Amino acid sequence: MGWLANRKQARTGLIDEPERENTTEPDGQAETGQSNDAPEERKKAGRLKGMALKLRPGKGKPQTGDAPAPAAAYVPEPREVVDPLLVISGVVRSFDVGSNKLQVLKGIDMTLRANSLIMLRGRSGSGKTTLLNLMGGLDQPDEGEILFQGKPFHTLNDENRTEARRKEIGFIFQSYALLPLLSAYENVELSLRMAGIPRSGWKTRVEHCLDLVGLAKRMHHRPFELSGGEQQRVAIAKSIAHRPVLLLADEPTAELDSQMGAQIMAVFREIIRQEQVTICMTTHDPTIMEVADHVYQMVDGRIQG
């Protein structure tokens, strides 16, 4: 994970909220439902199921308890999404290191199709986080263009980029970035509050997002009462609560074992299906790449292949 992401998480961690009474509830058993998915979605779901079964320790009965929940009672309004969502052309980014210039991105061309799962792979230091930061408007390119929903993103001033980020983009980090004193419910609610969404819609939306990630029954647990995979799912619910069109995830499975990593991928596919979100994530894990719609390989600041 890159320095900017770390800095951002450090900032998030500074927010202090009142402690809430802890209520312990029994573990949630998510239901398994009928799927209306398109054949390609079904194939990917099948691969995930296979992965989860292969990776499940022991020979016991299949554990469906923490699988993502199917459609909840509340379904978000369908919306028109511009396709392609993001087009990156000739992007170059350098940093001053002492008296030298370090060119980290050396002319990146990339297209993110709407409602797809895109993975960025590459060795440490190849420039993945730097590129993700540009996609999310946390940084600007020295050269090249970034079109977000058909409009120039790279030329927006700080204020407009912050506004676009607040409304249209969600971020997920390797180390969850949850507020430790708040319950899962309160963590997700906070993101609606910060996005300026009217209070009247909070409850339904928070419950829907936690249901979508399979944690409806643990919404009053605080982060330390949840496993790493569960904490990451709360972080995902938090990142989608304000209905972004683009979700950027910097190594979201790096801290998790393979089975939990596969669960996160299943959650991502469900979010794309239900919420019409495009997800771009970085990863080093070859086992999860097969569920991507597209994998971009980064080598020394360039996209290969």
Ligand X SMILES: Nc1ncnc2c1ncn2[C@@H]1O[C@H](COP(=O)(O)OP(=O)(O)OP(=O)(O)O)[C@@H](O)[C@H]1O
Helix, strand counts (H, E) of the chain: 8, 10
If binding is defined by CB under 6 A, does position 73 make contact with ligand X? no
Q: What are the respective helix, strand and coil percentages of the chain, to the nearest 5? A: 35, 20, 40
Candidates 68, 127, 137, 244; binder of ligand X (CB under 6 A) is: 127
Q: Does 124 sit near ligand X (CB under 6 A)? A: yes
* Least spacing, CB of residue 304 vs ligand X, in Å: 13
Nearest distance in Å: CB 129, ligand X? 3
Q: Is 281 helix (H, G, I), strand (E, B) or coil?
A: strand
| Phi and psi at residue 147, to the nearest 5° | -105, 120
CA torsion angle 253 1 205 267 (round to 10): -20
CB 210 within 8 A of CB 234: yes
- In the list 9, 116, 126, 231, the residue contacting ligand X (rule: CB under 6 A) is 126
Q: Is 82 in the site for ligand X (CB under 6 A)?
A: no
Output the smallest distance, CB 234 to ligand X, in A: 23
Contact code string over 3-32 relative to ligand X, x by CB under 6 A = x-----------------------------
Our finding on whether 1 is near ligand X (CB under 6 A) is yes
* DSSP reduced 3-state for 46: helix
State the nearest-atom distance from the C-beta of 218 to ligand X, in Å: 30
**Identity of residue 208:** H
Under rule CB under 6 A, which residues in 94-123 are in contact with ligand X?
Answer: 95, 97, 102, 104, 122
Q: How far is the CB of 118 from ligand X (least distance, A)?
A: 15
Which one of 9, 116, 129, 175 is in contact with ligand X (CB under 6 A)? 129
**241, two tokens:** 């609560």
Shortest distance in whole angstroms from residue 279 CB to ligand X: 17
Residue 64's alpha-carbon distances to 11, 31, 33, 49, 268, in angstroms, are 36, 8, 11, 10, 17
Q: Which residues would be at the binding site for ligand X (CB under 6 A)?
A: 1-3, 95, 97, 102, 104, 122, 124-130
